[in-house]
């Protein structure tokens, strides 16, 4: 399996670019391997030249097939190239990374996310095997690929609705890119990563079709719709609190845990959110009223969301006390912000017994 170069021209290899037909196989192979780590080049040189160039022709053919959107054929060509080279090379050889990039692009175009995930992860493993000496010999573009792979893993997981892993890989990509020089291209890509991280940290709920059942009342359908939407998003990681909150019933005993400090804190957070015209306020103004369980209120107000000690149960109990007392807290909300707050355990959108808070906008004669 020694060096088997000869002086025949590359024109003998199918699908070869005519621009390189004037150079020898040896020169062409040297050009191909010039972008891979130095320590791995001799392993390519030991492969019989015609054998390697045939595998390379499969790779080039895969590129052309991908351009023409012949995805299955492109993936088959990639598999053929990999199968041939595996006869001589370890699976973590850098050259497989080039082939897997074509394979991954094809899989993504067909939305075969599981395959794309596997091939991208393999690229990460290949890149992680590169020594520091070899890494120094690679171009900046080649070294930057590892960041792109982590970003791609995050994007694929996002498409698969696995938000936890999507965020994990996006954060790793963000950490890696922070050490790169802040030139325009890096700044732009950093912004894309940051946008994805922000989106993943505040995931948007997904709607799935829910149809009425025979003889199901409108209220029963509305209640089932709310619960099924919550369960659907919980399974996909887009619900930011425990789905059991949609069926949890209030306990009177929790109210005895509420101190004046907790009461004031919960009210202040609610007041500030409504005064800043936050989402709850905008919804209430648009629809006259907004109906939320305690977990949704906690999740909608950043200060409450960041306070792990104030659980939905405690927030629920505090708001219940405020409403039952109808004291200066409620009066101030109505007088200064024109909002009233109530609660019901018999909402048309939740199971009976679940406590739902109603924030109602009080219109003036000028509205």
Tokens of 32: 């191909």
User: C-alpha dihedral over 36, 39, 44, 45, to 10 degrees?
Assistant: 120
174-201 b/e (C-beta count within 10 Å ≥ 16 → b): bebbeebeeeeeeeebbeebeebbeebe
Tokens of 122: 């393999």
49-78 pLDDT, tens per residue? Answer: 999 999 999 999 999 999 999 999 999 999
Q: Is the whole-model pTM more than 0.75?
A: no
* Three-state secondary structure call for residue 338: coil
144-171 average pLDDT score: 89
pLDDT at 367: 53
121-144 b/e (C-beta count within 10 Å ≥ 16 → b): bbbbebbeebeeeeeeebeeebeb
**pLDDT above 90 for 15:** no
> For residues 32 and 127, is the Cβ–Cβ distance under 8 A?
no
Give the number of other Cβ atoms within 10 Å of residue 326's Cβ: 10
> For residues 273 and 283, is the Cβ–Cβ distance under 8 A?
no
Dist CA 17 CA 5 (whole Å): 19
Q: At what angle do helices 260-275 and 312-325 cross, to 10 degrees?
A: 90
> For residues 21 and 11, is the Cβ–Cβ distance under 8 A?
yes
Phi, psi of 356 (to 5 degrees): -120, 130
pLDDT at 7: 31
In degrees, rounded to 5, the angle at the alpha carbon of residue 238 between the alpha carbons of residues 237 and 244 is 75
pLDDT at 151: 93
214-265 pLDDT, tens per residue? Answer: 888 988 998 999 898 888 888 877 788 899 999 999 999 999 999 999 999 9
Label residue 211 left, alpha or beta by phi (over 0 means left) and psi (-120 to 50 means alpha): beta
105-119 b/e (C-beta count within 10 Å ≥ 16 → b): bbbbeeebbebbbeb
120-147 average pLDDT score: 89
Dist CA 347 CA 86 (whole Å): 63
pLDDT at 47: 93
SS3 helix, strand, coil % of the chain, rounded to 5? Answer: 65, 5, 30
DSSP structural state of residue 350: S
Give the number of other Cβ atoms within 10 Å of residue 1's Cβ: 9
pLDDT at 280: 75
pLDDT at 235: 80
Range 10-201 has CATH code 1.25.40.10: yes
């Amino acid at each position: 399996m020694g060096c088997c170069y000869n002086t025949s021209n590359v024109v003998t290899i199918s699908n070869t670019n005519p621009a390189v037909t004037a150079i020898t196989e040896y020169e062409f192979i040297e050009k191909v391997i010039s972008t891979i780590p130095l320590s791995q080049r001799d392993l390519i040189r030991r492969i019989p030249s015609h054998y390697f160039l045939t595998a390379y022709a499969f790779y080039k053919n895969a590129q052309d097939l991908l351009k023409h959107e012949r995805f299955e054929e492109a993936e088959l060509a990639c598999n053929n190239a990999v199968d041939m080279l595996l006869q001589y090379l370890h699976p973590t050889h850098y050259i497989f990374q080039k082939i897997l990039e074509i394979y991954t692009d094809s899989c993504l175009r067909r939305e075969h996310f599981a395959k794309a995930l596997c091939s991208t992860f393999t690229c990460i493993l290949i890149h992680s095997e590169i020594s520091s000496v070899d890494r120094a010999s690679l171009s900046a573009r080649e070294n930057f690929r590892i960041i792109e792979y982590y970003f791609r893993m995050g994007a694929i997981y996002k498409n698969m609705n696995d938000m936890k892993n999507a965020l994990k890989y996006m954060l790793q990509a963000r950490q890696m890119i922070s050490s790169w020089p802040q030139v325009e291209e890096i700044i732009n890509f950093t912004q894309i990563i940051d946008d994805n991280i922000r989106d993943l940290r505040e995931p948007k709920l997904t709607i799935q079709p829910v149809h009425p059942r025979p003889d199901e009342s409108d209220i029963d359908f509305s209640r089932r719709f709310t619960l099924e939407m919550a369960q659907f998003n919980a399974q996909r990681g887009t619900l930011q609190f425990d789905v059991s909150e949609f069926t949890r019933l209030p306990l009177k005993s929790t109210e005895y845990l509420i101190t004046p400090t907790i009461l004031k804190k919960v009210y202040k957070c609610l007041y500030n959110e409504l005064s800043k015209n936050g989402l709850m306020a905008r919804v209430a103004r648009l629809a006259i009223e907004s109906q939320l369980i305690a977990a949704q209120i906690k999740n909608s107000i950043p200060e409450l969301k960041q306070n792990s000690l104030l659980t939905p149960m405690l927030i629920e109990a505090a708001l219940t006390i405020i409403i039952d007392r109808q004291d200066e807290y409620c009066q101030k909300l109505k007088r200064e912000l024109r909002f009233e707050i109530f609660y019901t355990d018999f909402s048309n959108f939740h199971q009976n017994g679940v406590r739902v808070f109603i924030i109602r906008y009080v219109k003036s004669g000028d509205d």
